[in-house]
Chains A and B, each alone.
Chain A
């Protein structure tokens, strides 16, 4: 019986890939485990091994083909005794549609007993808001530059890399340290090429020793250097929490202003895809809690570049929270190498009149999707992209809420002690009389991240929840 070889998924986020090279030809006999092809994924070029043994009957997808969908047939393997003529030229079966579980699951109400955030139940007494003007298309996202300045398209990954490279060229005391940042070119390829340019003295591979190397980096910052410390992910920075908080954040104060810690702690934060409870936590609220730290959480590539450059130049310890899912997304970035974004300055990602959505980082993707959907219903949402969580640009938030009189916050982290809780408190203190409805917080659920695909979707903030929260505060 012949066996179809299907295009494999070779990373948690891959949907299609390029069949870069065949290492076997029709008629070759392959052993199980033999490398038969090279496939380019969204991250890397991977070797693809045969699972079964047999003779290669037909190659269905020639090498060099891009955009080959995961699970589509790429070759046919024959059993002993079969010959190629018994195999149809065209693949006999469509890729199995059933392979991917979970279509969008229905929303599930959170039981009150879980102690989580139950959306505030609102009456329908208030007057409906004025008919909404259609939301303007996403405008110039970085108010920090004059409109029309030259830009280039780049991914968040490239923006981060360029920010580090430019700052390392500019200041010889800046260096990068972390696990797999050098020879491996970065676990998520953020530091690709930096070892080649700056050498092993400035791009330094560490053993798996987060607590130790974080302490060493903080010490180095006291000794006159400016470390950029990459955590492979922020989940592993919990090993180093003591040095981030006790050593880096507090020393300037404890020394009466004599010695600060100019250091950047950066890496991916929050959920990726199906990596389960210990690899999926959003630490935004944790770090934002600590006086002495500055905290960035960029969304776009321009945010990433402009904020990282500011972070590297800042004389304080900066926690820089990136996101794996955003790494591959492209945005327009100002071409000016001197482009930076100041801390404590939010951007209005989209102007609107009926409700203010306050978000940051990956939460912005949900906020934008919700705003698109709301626009179709005639509700105009203004989106404030906070960008830095310490300091927070309260003024921009308050000004927007004074205009829209309603606010929904959006983030991925846990609901108790969330950034949105804090924003709501500040709005209550500074703009109470301007509110037409309570501020609602959309957050991740009050549970560790589950692995199962259907549960993971529910555990994260969903667009539907944001839309529903906006309907509540606008009494629709």
Chain B
């Protein structure tokens, strides 16, 4: 694995919870588990032909969105790429509506017209779901531009991948975001690969967050397998933005366990590499350990959460199967406002 962040798994067995309540920790566990089980179910439905096209799973990266959502306030915005299911669940969107969009049914967030890569919820301040690598970066800065213009104190989380970080529009955006002090947190989800291209095959930059320095944007690298580290970094970033100091960059070091999309054979990395991450750095296991070894929850407590999550996911899948396909008239609606 390239550039493992400094704060590795050491210390996960500590009994005291660092600046976090038991309830918070249980919530992070629950939220991360929901994403994982939801994604596993989506993979299963894809295998059965109920989901089609491209489907990019978030398994392995759960701590990134859950940690950052913990640093967000109501009204803050978020925008991301096609790898978006986790972001939607973490910001409180309904698993039924997300799953039904995956199956292309009327009960989905986009009435079945957007699919896995294109979902939106203005109510939850989730602005998509974008299929063109890097395009969401200026769009996110634009949302922040509107917030600054309106003076409403909101912050926008703009998520993008290590691969997207090479798109030129990212740097055009950095320049203007800093120039105009836009309240945007650029979150680079560095999962080490852009499809089959590892970070070191796509750039000689030593860090990705460091590129912001050329534009005057502060940033840092964060251990993305540690939800508490992500949350703490998110809080620093948000404080910077809300203080009117402009954008902030978080390069969150994470890992996707599955292929890039459902049809990626993932021959560019070894099975051992994936297994090692799963067994040694898994973000959910990490919180589980904190809860159990610290005596904050029993095996029984966690089993109850597991069951609750399983029910939510099964219910979402059932809804997504039962919800009808969109009526044919929907072909012609929503082209113009």
Contacts and interface: CB of A to CB of B under 8 A. Distances in A.
Interface of A: 6, 8-12, 14, 32-33, 35, 41, 43-47, 49, 51, 70-71, 96, 99-102, 105-106, 108, 110-111, 114, 179-180, 183-184, 187, 205, 207-209, 211-212, 235-236, 238-239, 272-279, 445-448, 450-455, 458-459
B216 interface: no
A454 B326 contact: yes
**A-B complex: 3 closest residue pairs judged by Cβ atoms:** A451-B115, A8-B47, A274-B53
Contacts of A108: 328-329, 331
Nearest to B161: A208
Among A447, A451, A459, residue most surrounded by chain B Cβ atoms (within 10 Å): A451
A197 B131 CA distance: 33
Interface in B4-61: 40, 43-44, 46-50, 52-54
Contacts of A11: 262-263
A277 to B, nearest CB: 7
B105 interface: yes
Given A108-B329, A279-B131, A12 B113 contact: no
Contact of A6 (B47, B101, B130): B47
Contacts of B213: none
B152 interface: no
B330 interface: yes
Contact of B330 (A183, A208, A455): A455
B280 to A, nearest CB: 15
Given A9-B48, A452-B104, A110 B332 contact: yes
A276 B48 contact: no
A447 to B, nearest CB: 5
Contacts of A273: 52-53
B32 to A, nearest CB: 15
B210 interface: no
Interface string B190-207: 000011110001110000
A45 B335 contact: no
B47 A10 contact: yes
B163 interface: yes
A276 B331 contact: no
A44 B112 contact: no
B98 interface: no
B144 to A, nearest CB: 22
A277 B118 contact: yes
A8 B44 CA distance: 8
A101 B325 contact: yes
Interface in B54-75: 54
B149 interface: no
B168 A458 contact: no
Contact of A208 (B110, B113, B163): B163
Interface stretch (B223-231, B235-243, B264-272, B288-296): B264-272
Contacts of A99: 48-50
A44 B263 contact: yes
Contact of A184 (B111, B134, B197, B326): B197
A452 B113 contact: yes
B156 to A, nearest CB: 21
B53 A6 contact: no
B166 interface: yes
A273 B51 CA distance: 11
Contact of A447 (B48, B101, B278, B331): B331
Nearest to B258: A49
Q: Is the interface of A mostly helix, strand, loop or mixed?
A: loop
A274 B54 CA distance: 8
Interface string B126-143: 000011111000000000
Contacts of A447: 331-332, 335
A32 B40 contact: yes
B215 interface: no
A272 B117 CA distance: 15
Given A183-B197, A208-B167, A279-B53, 17 more contacts: A6-B47, A96-B48, A101-B104, A102-B325, A179-B195, A207-B163, A208-B133, A275-B115, A276-B131, A279-B54, A446-B335, A447-B332, A450-B113, A450-B330, A451-B112, A451-B116, A454-B328
Nearest to A44: B265
Contacts of A179: 195, 197
A96 B131 CA distance: 31
Contacts of B197: 179-180, 183-184, 205, 207-208
A19 to B, nearest CB: 14
Contacts of B268: 183-184
A451 B47 contact: no
Among A41, A47, A458, A459, residue most surrounded by chain B Cβ atoms (within 10 Å): A47
Given A236-B132, A278-B117, A455 B265 contact: no
B164 interface: yes
A239 B263 contact: no
Contact of A455 (B52, B112, B335): B112
Given A11-B263, A179-B195, A205-B197, A274 B115 contact: yes
A42 B47 CA distance: 14
Contacts of B259: 46
Among B259, B262, B278, residue most surrounded by chain A Cβ atoms (within 10 Å): B262
A99 B162 CA distance: 36
Nearest to A458: B331
B331 A209 contact: no
Contacts of B153: none
A187 B195 contact: yes
Contact of B134 (A187, A208, A459): A208
A79 to B, nearest CB: 14
Nearest to B326: A452
Nearest to A108: B328
B84 to A, nearest CB: 13
Contacts of A47: 265-266, 271
B49 A71 contact: yes
Contacts of A51: 40, 43-44
Nearest to B132: A278
A105 B328 CA distance: 8
A448 B49 contact: no
A401 B197 CA distance: 51
Given A101-B325, A207-B166, A445 B331 contact: yes
A468 B217 CA distance: 60
A99 B48 CA distance: 7
B245 to A, nearest CB: 30
A47 B265 CA distance: 7
A114 B332 contact: yes
Contact of B112 (A6, A49, A180, A450): A450
Contact of B54 (A8, A12, A211): A12
B54 A70 contact: no
23 contacts: A9-B48, A11-B263, A44-B265, A49-B43, A51-B44, A70-B47, A101-B325, A108-B328, A108-B329, A207-B202, A208-B164, A211-B168, A273-B52, A274-B52, A276-B53, A276-B114, A278-B117, A278-B118, A451-B112, A452-B326, A455-B112, A455-B113, A455-B328
Contact of A43 (B40, B118, B202, B263): B263
Contacts of A114: 332, 335
B133 A236 contact: yes
A6 B50 CA distance: 13
